[in-house]
Amino acid sequence: TAALPTNVRDATLVLRPVMASLELIDGQVAVVPETGNANKLRACLVCSLVKSPRQFVESGCENCPFLNMVDDNERVYDCTTAAFDGFVAITKPSESWMARWQRLEKRVPGVYAITTRGEVPEDVITQLEENGVRIPR
């Protein structure tokens, strides 16, 4: 395994082969994918939070509760993607240069995709807008 560069002090989550779903970091709960197999992970299409499909079904997206993914497998697959490149662990979003660079400073601590491919389906966007929820495009 490659060592982290010494100048990256804010990426203190160490990705392990088997990860817990939640970890406490400086009094905050960090969302951590439960599987070490990156091929089975998905990223939220709105905020890029990375979790397993099961985690999205069980708790939705902590940053985007308006997507209503809890207990809805179809919605999880509509609003997340397995097509993402790289990921970064952000432990202190409000203090992290990486979080600022990725525009994640107001998000929950967790693992985020660097880039994602895909879009929230138009019918989901329409349904959300009809209910007064606007998602960034």
**What's at 113, amino acid-wise?**
A
State yes or no: pLDDT of 99 exceeds 80.
yes
Average pLDDT over residues 69-86: 95
- Whether residue 92 contacts residue 25, with contact meaning beta carbons closer than 8 Å, is answered with yes
Q: Is 131 exposed, middle or buried (0-12, 13-18, 19+ CB in 10 A)?
A: exposed
Of 30 and 53, the one with more pLDDT = 53
pTM: 0.74
Q: How does pLDDT run across 5-32, given as a tens digit for each residue? A: 333 333 333 333 334 444 455 555 677 7
